Amino acid sequence: MRNLTLLLVAIFIISCNRINKISEKEKSFLALQIDSLKQLNENLAATRSVLFENTLNLEETDKETAERLNGNFIQKHQHHKWNKDFQNLKG
């Protein structure tokens, strides 16, 4: 009976040591994953910043293009109106 108790205690101690070893391996693996996730987060933050800047630049470009196109339309319309007025004066 004593031998059986010693055997069970020995098995319990061995299993506890294995759990600790596995836990250390898991901790190491999790630390690597955390480092990788931190790096990915930094990359995503940098990418988001660049995309935000690009979006602002596109909005400015779109605004400038819209103003330029609107200005060209007004000039063409005004020129057409002047031609029509001139034709009416001649006519």
Q: Is residue 38 over pLDDT 90?
A: yes
CA geometry: angle 64, 65, 70, nearest 5 deg: 100
Q: Which two three-digit tokens encode residue 27?
A: 């901790």
Three-class secondary structure assignment of 39-56: HHHHHHHHHHHHHHHHHH
Identity at 85, one-letter amino acid code: D
pLDDT tens sequence across 74-90 = 666 666 666 666 666 76
- Can you tell me the mean pLDDT for 41-62? 86
* pLDDT bucket at 20, cuts 50 / 70 / 90: low
pLDDT, position 6: 80
